[in-house]
Amino acid sequence: MSALPENATRIGVVLIGRNEGERLIAALRSVSGRADAIVYVDSGSTDRSVEAAEAMGAATVCLDMSTPFTAARARNAGFAVLLKRDPAVDFVQFIDGDCELDLGWIDVAAAFLESRPDVALVCGRRRERFPQRSIYNKLCDMEWDTPVGETRESGGDFLVRREAFSAVAGFTEHLIAGEEPELCARLRRAGWKIWRLDAEMTVHDADILRFRQWWRRAVRSGFAYASLRHLHGAGPDRHSHRNVKSALIWGAAVPAAIVGAALAYPPAAAAAVIYPLQAARIGLRQKHQGADRFLYGAFVVLGKFAEAVGIGKFAYARLRGRDQPLIEYK
């Protein structure tokens, strides 16, 4: 790794993964030479990921897998080791092991944070590496094309001020999903701003090739919405209230009403036409062109059913007083 100027802003990288194979090697190469310290956090890999990371100069952390895994816990563990290696680090780049950092991202993001002391965290454009490999990969790429400017939240790849991250005690470790929006909610509550830059940030290999994977990912989103509403829904911005309400209406209440009405009066089943109409309405509001916009709208509507399942899982876990196991889709 090439040496950075002594007076430069100090950058650290925390990268998490499990059995990512060549994707981890690519991720490490993408951050090599762009940071003063790199920490890789492994969660039980069996493919020699730890040895590969060490060979590339990264400090490594092996999570204790006797405690249920969460990405939040892994990232916090990496951050703690990063601070021990470089207590003076200014900004920290979080990235997942199935992503690669864009060559110019850290320079652009760090310059923005230096110019805006009111901003705690910046993210950019995450792109899907293989959008044509499946409908579901393409949907991810469309989902990640978010508006530029001040925003409410970020995904798992971002550059954050060390002082801001430390001040809010990092990620909430028990969350199995939605840990990034939850972090952003606490940062905003502490007076910081979150910003989406008009810049390339990462390429991501979602690797969602089957409907079942997409469905489980949407279930996880519903669980995350419910978790965030439980933690922050009573605040002034009513965090995730709209997402939970939408999922319960379109994924539970409306279909139950249509089925109930159809059982009493079969022609009432025609009311189901509201779903393709809603999908078309959502599609027409997208900036994407052609059939892609209507494909996106259709899956947004279909996803409401899965999100409602996720909300139900959260409610059931709360009722039983037990933690919900990780909802994985890969």
Beta bridge partners of 158: 94
Q: Are 140 and 208 in contact (CB under 8 A)?
A: yes
Residue 189 has pLDDT above 60, yes or no: yes
Q: How far apart are alpha carbons 254 and 275 in whole angstroms?
A: 10
- Per-residue pLDDT for 235 more than 90? no
Q: How does residue 6 score in pLDDT terms, banded at 50, 70 and 90? A: low
Does position 159 have pLDDT exceeding 90, yes or no?
yes
Q: What is the pLDDT of residues 67-99, one digit of tens each?
A: 889 999 999 999 999 999 999 999 999 999 999
> How far is it, in rounded angstroms, from Cα 4 to Cα 92?
15
How high does pLDDT run on average in the chain? Answer: 94
Q: Return the sign of the alpha-carbon dihedral for residues 22, 24, 28, 31.
A: positive
Name the token pair of 197.
């830059």
What is the spatial distance between Cα 75 and Cα 45, in angstroms, rounded to a whole number? 16
The reported pLDDT for the residue numbered 244 is 97
**Please, what are the domains in the chain?**
11-209 (3.90.550.10), 232-320 (no CATH)
Share of the chain above pLDDT 70, in %: 98
pLDDT tens for residues 116-131?
A: 999 999 999 999 999 9
Distance CA 117, CA 94 (A): 20
| Cβ contact 37:136 at 8 Å | no
Question: How large is the average pLDDT for residues 272-291?
Answer: 90
Split at pLDDT 50, 70, 90, the class of 1 is: very low
Query: How confident is the model at residue 323, as a pLDDT?
Result: 85
* Mean pLDDT value across residues 308-328: 93
Cβ atoms of residues 207 and 200 within 8 Å:
no
Does position 173 have pLDDT exceeding 60, yes or no? yes
